[in-house]
Amino acid sequence: CKILRCNSEYVAATLNLRGPDRNAAFCSALRSYSHCTRKTARTCRGDLAYHSAVHGIEDLMIQNNCSKEGPVSPPRPRPPAPNHHQGLESLDICNYEKSFLYKHGQPPSYQHCAAFGDPHIRTFHDDFHTCRVEGSWPLLDNDYLFVQATSSPVAKGSNATVTSKLTIIFKNMKECVDQKVYQAEIDNLPAAFEDGSVNGGERPGGSSLAIREHTPGRHVEIRAEYIGTTIAVRQAGRQLSFSIRAAEEVARAFTEEQDLQLCVGGCPRSQRISRSKCCQGRMAAETARALCKEMLPVEDVYFQSCVFDVATSGDANFTMAAHGALEDARVFLPNAEKLHIFQ
């Protein structure tokens, strides 16, 4: 609902009205305001600010004897670009946050998803599942991004699986970036896309997609400013993990056919396994708990996942997977109160 944009355009148009033509200009601004609200009517039906704006416009038109037909205010001029060689459009269209702020008068909302360890999935809606999901499964499949995780058993004969390969496709966005593919496998975490590039290519917004290596072979971050998204890929022990902070609008940009996305719906019921059945593995549960407690003092789902993974695999490196996922959540989550999930 873009009613805030209508409000701010009306305020800007009437802020400095002076002189004998003030009333005519005021009526023009009200007609523009009315026209703007009509354009948002379908999306703003249930919005209180929208309904109060509509009633307010009617009252002001009556008080100022404004006719409903007549000239409207010219569109508000956009602020000049800091660089005269590039207009504001080309500067901001590939910066999602700036563009959203300009259109809506407020910053965008963000969502967080993660897949780590067994794999454990934290969905965009803060649901938490431990999954079997052997083979390849989509974590994300929307208009902007496709992310696929490939899993294999954590140990011979085990029900538990770990992510052994990640494929991330940044879809072509003609104003900003060429399509780019990033692939990571165990012991191969490149700091470049498949074609060897480290950004979005030759287009004007190419730099709005970039890869940065935090720890060689262990932690890579991909920033996609043009869609308000940051992705972290890590390797801990013999498994990969994936974390994302995505603009809500981007996370929701998919059709009914793209309904299987672990980040959106979690893992299917048939693929979920209980973390309480973990501990007949090679490492006793108490030893696993002690190791995990050192890295994860709060006994939340990250801690429970760590105990499950260490006990199931017998690999103490799995404490790093849960710890890395928690650190990503600390950076990516817009609401710090949602950091810990308790089940």
pLDDT at 77 over 70: no
> Residue 279's pLDDT band (boundaries 50, 70, 90)?
low
> Residue 277's pLDDT band (boundaries 50, 70, 90)?
low
Q: What is the pLDDT of residues 200-218, one digit of tens each?
A: 988 888 899 999 999 999 9
Q: Measuring CA to CA, which residue among 306, 157, 162, 139 is closest to residue 238?
A: 162
- Give the integer Cα–Cα distance in Å for 236 and 342: 24
Tokens matching residue 103: 């259109």
Cβ atoms of residues 176 and 224 within 8 Å:
no
pLDDT at 2 over 70: yes
Is the pTM above the cut of 0.75? no
pLDDT at 156 over 80: no
* CA distances in angstroms from 163 to 30, 89, 139, listed in the order given: 57, 40, 11
Q: Measuring CA to CA, which residue among 304, 266, 298 is closest to residue 117?
A: 304
Q: Which of 84-98, 146-160, 261-275, 318-332 has the lowest mean pLDDT?
A: 84-98
Q: Provide the 3-class DSSP secondary structure of residue 234.
A: strand
Q: What is the pLDDT of residues 84-120, one digit of tens each?
A: 344 444 457 899 999 999 888 889 999 999 999 989 9
| Per-residue DSSP letter, 129 | E
- Give the integer Cα–Cα distance in Å for 189 and 182: 10
Mean pLDDT, rounded, of the chain = 86
Q: What is the pLDDT of residues 301-327, one digit of tens each?
A: 999 999 988 888 888 888 999 999 999
Task: Answer with the residue of higher pLDDT: 73 or 296.
Answer: 296
Q: What is the pLDDT of residues 214-255, one digit of tens each?
A: 999 999 999 999 999 999 999 998 899 999 999 999 999 998
* Strand extents, DSSP E, the chain: 110-116, 120-122, 128-130, 135-141, 145-153, 161-170, 180-185, 209-215, 219-224, 229-236, 239-247
Phi-psi region of 19 (alpha: psi -120 to 50; beta: other; left: phi over 0): left
- Give the integer Cα–Cα distance in Å for 186 and 162: 10
